[in-house]
Amino acid sequence: MADRDFSRICDTREWELPGYEPWFPVSEKSNPLTCDIDKASPNHIVRLLAACDAQIFQTKSGSTYERLFCDSIVHSMKEVTKMLEHILRDPEDSLVVLSGCGTSGRLAFLMATCFNRILKDQEQKPLYTYIIAGGDKALLTSQESPEDDPKLGMLTLEKICEGKRRVLFIGISCGLSAPFVAGQIAFCLKHPDVFSPVLVGFNPVSQARDEPMPGSTLTFRALVQKMQQKGQRAFIINPAVGPEVITGSSRMKGGSATKILLETILASAHTAAITNTHVTQGVLLARMKAYEFVHSATYSHSEQIAALIQSTGLSLQRGGRVCYVAWGSLGLLGLIDASECIPTFGADYEDVRGFIRGGYQDLDNIEGDLTSLGPQFCISHEDFMHLVLPNLSDRDLVLLLYTAHDDLDEVEKMILRVREKTSNVHILYHRLEGEAAADSMAPLCSSVLSVTWPFPSPDLNLLHMQWELSSKLVLNAVSTGGHILKGKVYRNHMIDLQVTNSKLYHRAGHILQKLSGCSQTRCEETLLKAIYDVETLTEDITSARVYTHTISASRRSRVVPLALVCLLMGCSLSEAKSRLQSHPVVREAVEACVTSSTPSSP
Ligand code: F6P
């Protein structure tokens, strides 16, 4: 693609027009840039990803949406930073809780442990903790149903904060939609003497979810409006970052923007507390601009990212495995990326897996070692060597992620071990100018993506946070691109998603409506037939709650593809099953249906 075309892509702000998919919040709109991403080459996929990610940093420029660098957003960030500064100066009996569901909860964990480590290095006590819906097993595997439970959210928060004098609660819900987080915010609002709630998300308040939450008449939107009422000591930080590359996949831009926003707040408060100064909007802006540089530094390696996507796609198409073997906090980024492939692309846990040096000891999660829960929870390099490596072959891909600050001898040894089983070895390596290049490893690998960062860096912790974001962008590109090439995406929709909570249930219904053109009622009926595996719906099924549907859906696979084929072909469930069997690649199955259901021109 010529550079002129690329800048045209970056300029596209069509999604901001009032008439563009007005019935969806920004986080659920489809991105007009990526409507043909399923047919794109790896090079083009990377260009589209770069353009979509660039939307995070776009300025407001006449649109109605508040954006990352807007005064109102940076002002709220400053207020929250000031609250944290006070706590850091007098931390006794205080707690900062970061909480969320899915990727939002995993990032809460990443940041809470990172800033506790910074405090520990300064010989201070830990101040941060995290909550993830579904507990620690949700750090590594998809646990979607607790997201729907506001009471569980509230009780978990209450328990973790017992005896605290002051709590800064930061709830993350990219779509302003998760009842689990809403329950916690509602609890904070009831106890303003102790709790100061902050909500982070990426929709305007008017687009927050407006459906009563289980066990309550309250909606997420009504709750956010309550936060905005005069006299409430509550903050909402919700810039629009544009629709996701794959519709609704908030692990991508939503996750990146969460990391940018919260690390900016947390790091700025720490600096202010240490230097005995006060944070300014200028400081916050400068920190966020540094993340914009991460975007350009990372995507300046587009060709290498595209090559990685190509190899990942090939491995997945051949039924091979993709393993991220990583050092330091990049390991957590690998685990996070791998965990989301299951609900997003209907992947098996073995398709994409992450392994971290030091396993649970380095992870430092509340519930400790989870290995006994099953093979999905085996995450150390030793687990990789004992359980995975012996069965690897050339169709499997191993991506090693590390930095110049890790033990490079250990990395080299690992590469040599892996090479005995597969030549499909790739590396993603970060270093500062002047630090050792990946030269000695390069001949051992199929591809090397080495990102060099300018020296001197203002702060080592900040540098590592930037390397994490850079790695996140690459990993998101690799797993999304690989699954696109495997045929798990149709246009820019995840058509093989798991329907395991109410948000995903409604998303599935919308996907069916959009792709089949059938009515909402017909789509929902067909979805239910696929979920319950029946040709005719009974009264029991139609009168059941969405929660019951999601429990049944969690026991089945390919419910959305099946429903879509039924709708497109006007056929029975059993016919749809045999069609899907003859076209195992979901996108091809859908395309075959679209072609055969389109009347030929006279
Ligand atoms: O329900 C699944 C999911 O979409 C995850 O993929 C995502 O990370 C999580 O929900 C959290 O969503 P939100 O941040 O919008 O609450």
* CA–centroid distance, residue 427 to ligand 1 (Å): 29
In the reported structure, the alpha carbon of residue 499 is separated from the centroid of ligand 1 by a whole-number distance in angstroms of 12
Enter the DSSP assignment of 236. E
Q: What is the pLDDT of residues 438-470, one digit of tens each?
A: 778 889 999 999 999 997 777 889 999 999 999
Cα of 557 from ligand 1 centre, angstroms: 20
Q: Residue 524 pLDDT > 60, yes or no?
A: yes
Which of 27, 104, 502, when mutated, tests ligand 1's pocket best, judged by the most ligand atoms within 8 Å of its CB? 104
Q: What is the DSSP string of 127-139?
A: -EEEEETT-THHH
Which atom in ligand 1 lies closest to the alpha carbon of residue 501? 1
> Which residues are registered as beta bridge partners of 354?
324
Residue 247: name the closest of 60, 106, 59, 37 by CA.
37
Which single residue is written with the structure tokens 């489809």? 30
- Cα(495) to ligand 1 centroid in Å equals 16
Instruction: Tell which atom from ligand 1 comes closest to the C-alpha of 144.
Output: 1
How many C-beta atoms surround the C-beta of residue 521 within 10 A? 8
3-state helix, strand, coil in the chain (%, to 5): 55, 10, 35
- pLDDT attached to residue 371: 97
Q: Determine the Cα–Cα distance for residues 335 and 106; give it in Å rounded to an integer.
A: 9
Residue of the CA atom closest to atom 10 of ligand 1: 102
By alpha-carbon position, which residue is closest to atom 3 of ligand 1?
102
Taking residues 484-513, what's their average pLDDT? 95
- pLDDT of 598 reads 59
Q: Residue 30 and residue 492: Cα distance in Å, rounded? A: 7
Rounded percentage of the chain residues whose pLDDT exceeds 90: 88
**Parallel, antiparallel, or unpaired: how do β-strands 447-453 and 489-490 relate?**
unpaired
Atom of ligand 1 nearest to the CA of 258: 14
Angle 574-576-578 from CA coordinates, rounded to 5°: 75
User: Could you tell me the distance, in angstroms and rounded to a whole number, from the CA of residue 595 to the centre of ligand 1?
Assistant: 33
Contacts of 524 (CB under 8 A, 6+ apart): 509
Is the per-residue pLDDT at 45 higher than 60?
A: yes
What's 321's DSSP letter? -
Q: How far apart are CA 194 and CA 93, in angstroms?
A: 11
Locus of tokens 């003497």? 193
Name the residue with the closest Cα to ligand 1, atom 7. Answer: 102
Phi, psi of 529, rounded to the nearest 5 degrees: -60, -40
Cα–Cα distance, 311 to 329 (Å, whole number): 24
Q: Is the pLDDT of residue 11 over 60?
A: no
Q: What mean pLDDT comes out for the span 135-144? A: 95
Q: What is the pLDDT of residue 100?
A: 98
Determine the distance separating the centroid of ligand 1 and the alpha carbon of 250, expressed in angstroms.
6
61 exposure class (CB count in 10 Å sphere: 0-12, 13-18, 19+): exposed
Decide if pLDDT at 6 tops 50. no
| Phi, psi for 425 (deg, rounded to 5) | -115, 130
How far away, in angstroms, is 7 Cα from ligand 1 center? Answer: 31
Determine the straight-line distance between the first and last CA of the chain, rounded to whole angstroms. 37
CATH numbers and ranges of domains, the chain? 71-294 (3.40.50.10490), 300-486 (3.40.50.12620), 502-597 (1.10.8.1080)
Atom nearest to 104 CA in ligand 1: 14
For the CA atoms of 347, 350, 353, 356, the dihedral, rounded to the nearest 10 degrees, stands at 150
Hey, is 198 helix, strand or coil?
strand
Return the ligand 1 atom nearest residue 175 CA: 15
Q: Residue 417 pLDDT > 90, yes or no? A: yes
Instruction: Look at residue 597 in the predicted model and tell me its pLDDT.
Output: 67
Name the residue at shortest CA distance from atom 5 of ligand 1: 102
Which residues does residue 343 pair with via DSSP β-bridges, in sequence order?
A: none
| 254 CA to centre of ligand 1 in angstroms | 9
Q: What is the pLDDT of residue 456?
A: 72
Which of 250, 345, 472, 494 is the pocket-test mutation for ligand 1 (most atoms within 8 Å of CB)? 250
DSSP state of 459: -
Pocket mutation for ligand 1, best pick of 103, 223, 336 (most atoms within 8 Å of C-beta): 103
List, for residues 171-229, the tens digit of each pLDDT value. Answer: 999 999 999 999 999 999 999 999 999 999 999 999 999 999 988 889 999 999 999 99
Pocket lined around ligand 1, Cβ cut-off 6 Å:
100-104, 144, 147, 172-175, 177-178, 250-251, 254, 340, 343, 501, 503-504
* Distant-in-sequence, close-in-space partners of 248: CB < 8 Å, separation ≥ 6: 27, 28, 494, 507
Ligand 1 centroid – CA 458 distance (Å):
33
From the CA of 101, give the closest atom in ligand 1.
Answer: 11
pLDDT of 583: 85
Task: Supply the residue whose CA is at minimum distance from atom 1 of ligand 1.
Answer: 144
Q: Residue 93 has what DSSP assignment?
A: T
Q: Quote the tokens at residue 523.
A: 């789509």
In this prediction, residue 230 carries a pLDDT of 81
Q: Work out the number of other CB atoms within 10 angstroms of the CB of residue 428.
A: 29
How much is the mean pLDDT over the chain? Answer: 94
Query: Looking at ligand 1, which atom is closest to the CA of residue 180?
Result: 16
Distance from the CA of 110 to the center of ligand 1, in angstroms? 16
**In contact, 270 and 115? CB cutoff 8 Å:** yes
**For residue 330, which of 288, 289, 358 has the smallest C-alpha distance?**
358
Q: Is the pLDDT of residue 168 over 80?
A: yes
Q: What is the distance in A from the centroid of ligand 1 to the CA of 104?
A: 7
Q: Give the pLDDT of residue 600.
A: 43
Q: What pLDDT does 440 receive?
A: 84
Distance CA(271)–CA(276), nearest Å, equals 8
User: Tokens at residue 414, please?
Assistant: 């690992």
The whole-angstrom separation of Cα 471 and Cα 467 is 6
Question: Span 56-78, mean pLDDT?
Answer: 93
Which ligand 1 atom minimizes the distance to the CA of 103?
Answer: 8
Write down the H helix ranges in 90-217. Answer: 103-121, 137-140, 150-160, 179-190
Joined together, the tokens standing for residue 171 give 């709830």
Q: What spacing in Å lies between the alpha carbon of 102 and ligand 1's midpoint? A: 5
Q: How far apart are CA 184 and CA 179, in angstroms?
A: 9
Q: What is the mean pLDDT of residues 47-51?
A: 97
How far out from the chain centre does Cα 70 lie?
A: 24
Q: What is the tens place of the pLDDT at every residue in 223-271? A: 999 999 988 889 999 999 999 999 999 999 999 999 999 999 999 999 9
Give the nearest ligand 1 atom to 503 CA.
1
Task: Give the model's pLDDT for residue 296.
Answer: 96
Tell me, what's the pLDDT at 601? Answer: 40
Atom of ligand 1 nearest to the CA of 251: 8
> Quick one: tokens of 157?
């928060």
DSSP code of residue 32: G
| Centroid of chain to Cα 224 | 22
Single-letter code of the amino acid located at 167: V
Assigned token pair, 583: 């076209």
Ligand 1 mutation pick, 28, 98, 101, max ligand atoms within 8 A of CB: 101
**Ligand 1 centre from 490 Cα, in Å?**
20
Ligand 1 centroid – CA 220 distance (Å): 15
Ligand 1 centroid to Cα of residue 173, in Å, is 7
174 CA to centre of ligand 1 in angstroms = 7
| Separation of CA 600 and ligand 1 centre (Å) | 41
Q: Which atom of ligand 1 is nearest to the CA of 178?
A: 16
Smallest Cα–Cα separation from 224: which of 156, 176, 169?
A: 176
Number of Cβ within 10 Å of residue 212's Cβ equals 13
Report whether 100 contacts 171 (CB < 8 A). Answer: yes
pLDDT (mean) for 15-27: 94
The upper half-sphere exposure of residue 170, i.e. CA atoms within 13 Å in the direction of its Cβ, equals: 31
Residue 2 is predicted with a pLDDT of: 43
What digits encode the pLDDT tens for the residues 74-115? Answer: 999 999 999 999 999 999 999 999 999 999 999 999 999 999
Three-class HEC string of 323-387: EEEECCCHHHHHHHHHHHHHHHHCCCCCCEEEEECCHHHHHCCCCCCCHHHCHHHCCEHHHHHHH
Q: How far is the CA of 524 from the centre of ligand 1 (A)?
A: 22
Contact predicate 360/332, CB 8 Å: no
Token output for 466: 């930037």
Pairing of strands 489-490, 493-494: antiparallel
User: Which of 132, 141, 149, 174, when mutated, tests ligand 1's pocket best, judged by the most ligand atoms within 8 Å of its CB?
Assistant: 174
CB atoms within 10 A of CB 312: 28
Task: Please state the φ and ψ torsions of residue 598, each to the nearest 5 degrees.
Answer: -85, 120
Q: Whose CA is nearest to atom 16 of ligand 1?
A: 173
Tokens of 229: 């009422």
Residue from 189, 126, 128 nearest 154 by CA: 189
Structure tokens at 330: 């990049």
Task: Measure the CA–CA gap between 259 and 133, rounded to whole angstroms.
Answer: 18
- Answer whether 0.90 is exceeded by the pTM: yes
Give per-residue pLDDT as tens, 313-336: 999 999 999 999 999 999 999 999
CB 90 within 8 A of CB 123: no
Tell whether the model's pLDDT for residue 354 goes beyond 80.
Answer: yes
